[in-house]
């Protein structure tokens, strides 16, 4: 039996911008997301190629966290 090759289409990680109505929960959401991606980066079971993806995701979350402080009160 022959093996089948797998072609994966890269998907860009685009977390949504925080909404003003959700401002109260976004701080906790951001912290949880950053913690999640940090744990992925530390896990020896995760491949180096996926850790590159995880680092990109974590960086995007951090960038959004910086934007969230600009939301009106």
Domain for residue 10, yes or no?
Answer: no
The average pLDDT across 7-26 equals 80
Q: What is the pLDDT of residues 18-48, one digit of tens each?
A: 788 887 888 898 899 999 999 999 999 999 9
Confidence of residue 8 (pLDDT cuts 50, 70, 90): low
Domain for residue 11, yes or no?
Answer: no
Instruction: Tally the domains of the chain.
Output: 1
Domain for residue 46, yes or no?
Answer: yes
Q: Residues near 23 by Cβ (< 8 Å), separated by ≥ 6?
A: 68, 71, 73
User: Domain containing 40: what range?
Assistant: 20-68
Domain for residue 14, yes or no?
Answer: no
18/42 Cα distance (integer angstroms): 27
Q: At what angle do helices 48-68 and 23-42 cross, to 10 degrees?
A: 160
Domain for residue 54, yes or no?
Answer: yes
What's the pTM?
0.75
């Amino acid at each position: 039996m022959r093996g089948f090759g797998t072609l994966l289409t890269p998907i860009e990680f685009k977390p949504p911008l925080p909404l003003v109505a959700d401002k109260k929960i976004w701080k906790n959401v951001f912290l949880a997301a950053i913690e999640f991606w940090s744990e992925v980066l530390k896990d020896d079971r995760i491949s180096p190629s996926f850790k590159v993806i995880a680092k990109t995701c974590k960086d995007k979350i951090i960038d959004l966290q910086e934007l969230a402080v600009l939301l009106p009160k």
